[in-house]
Amino acid sequence: MPILSPSDLIPDFIPVLGYLDDFLLITVVIHILLKMVPKEIMDEHRESAKTKFSEGIPKSRFVALLC
């Protein structure tokens, strides 16, 4: 099942190579999307994440898995 592309370069039923093209496509798209986010917004949210996680380890294992 292709994830982002309606057509696969390599069919998924080929053992390793079938999913490799999907993985590479997702990796490239995530990289492009991260580059599109303005630097100020990325810095703001990184600081927010640092302060949130510097308070300590979450008490709930379920919440820890979500974070």
pLDDT at 1: 45
Per-residue confidence in pLDDT tens, the chain, 67 aa: 445 555 666 777 777 777 787 788 888 889 999 999 999 999 999 998 888 777 666 567 777 677 6
Domain-by-domain residue ranges, the chain? 17-66
CA–CA separation, 56 and 1 (whole Å) = 40
3-state secondary structure 13-51: CCCCHHHHHHHHHHHHHHHHHHHHCCHHHHHHHHHHHHH
Question: Can you give the pLDDT at residue 22?
Answer: 78
pLDDT for res 38: 95
